[in-house]
Structure 1
Amino acid sequence: MRLHPEKTGIVRLTRGGQGFDFLGFHHRKMESWKWRGRYYLQRWPSVKAMRVLRDKVRAATARSRTERPVSAVVADLNPVLRGWAAYFRNGNSGRKFNVVDGYVHERLAIFASAKHRLAGRNWTTRFTYGWITRLGVYRLTGNVHRATAHASR
């Protein structure tokens, strides 16, 4: 039996080694910021999972679809964001969720700017946090559930 080198390999996890990807999560042992010298296994969305989500957001907010209202784009995006957040909410995904929220905000600002024939993204004047909240975009930030690392009886 031959093992595929890209799918199978030996991973060094001691002292915060390289980590590994499994089921869309990247697993890595990280040193505790409170108790130096102690390492805990943490997981967050992998690079590939982030890329797939960015591709879906980019496809929903493509410039060729500028005839659609922004509310229709948000209606298409919300189920994708909810499902992605439900799958990745367990673990240490908070930083990645912030990145996704920022990317969705940016893509919707670009979409709205193109739709209304405005130059640039207009962050400070039109497409603020209040604007994205009024649209009803599902926010991933604040949806992380920290899982305990010890076994139950």
Structure 2
Amino acid sequence: MRLHPEKSGIACLTRGGQGFDFLGFHHRKVESWRWRGRFYLQRWPSGRAIRVLREKIRAATGRSKTERPVSAVVADLNPVLRGWAAYFRNGNSGRKFNAVDGYVHERLAILTSRKHGRAGRNWVTRYTYEWITRLGVYRLTGNVRRATVHASR
């Protein structure tokens, strides 16, 4: 039996080493902010998983979508975001979820600006948090469920 060098290997997890990717998650030991010197295994979406999601968001909000109403684009985007959140909500995904929410907000602001012939993204005045909420975009932020730290006895 031969092992594939890219898919299998030995990962160094001591003292917050490199970590490893498995089933779309990146696993790494991270030092506790409360108890220095103690390391806990944490997991969040891997770089590849985020890249694939960003490609799907970019495809849903691309230049060819300017003819469609924004509500139709949001309707296509919401199932993707819901499924992604359901899979990655366990663990330590909060920071990655915030980044994805920001990216969705940016892409929808660019799409709407382009559709209405405006220059720039108009973040402050037009495309605020209330605007994105009114559109009905599914938000990933707030969907994280922390995994239990201790094993059951």
TM-score (norm 2): 0.98
Shift of 1:64: 1.3
Give the match for residue 129 of structure 2. 129
2:81 equivalent in structure 1: 81
- Percent of aligned positions with the same letter in both sequences? 84
The equivalent residue for 2:94 is 94
- For structure 2, the residue ranges without an aligned partner over 5 or more in a row are none
- What SS does the corresponding residue of 2:42 show, helix, strand or coil? strand
Partner of 1:43: 43
Q: State the distance in 1 between where 2:77 and 2:151 align.
A: 36
In 2, Cα distance between equivalents of 1:130 and 1:146 = 28
Task: For residue 21 of structure 1, give the secondary structure of its aligned residue in structure 2.
Answer: strand
Point out where structure 1 has 5 or more consecutive residues left out of the alignment. Answer: none
Q: CA offset at residue 149 of structure 1?
A: 2.2
By how many angstroms is 1:92 displaced? 0.2
Indicate the larger mover: 31-40 or 1-10: 1-10
Indicate the RMSD between aligned Cα atoms, in angstroms. 0.7
Counterpart of 1:14 in structure 2 is 14
Q: Deviations for 1:82-119, whole angstroms, at most 9, x for unmatched residues? A: 00000000000000000000000000000001111111
User: How many residues were matched structurally?
Assistant: 153
Match of residue 119 from structure 1: 119
> Retained in 1: the 8 A contact 2:44–2:92?
yes
How does 1:14-33 map onto structure 2 within 5 Å?
14-33=14-33
2 CA distance for matches of 1:108 and 1:65?
Answer: 11
Find the residue that maps to 1:40 and give its secondary structure: strand
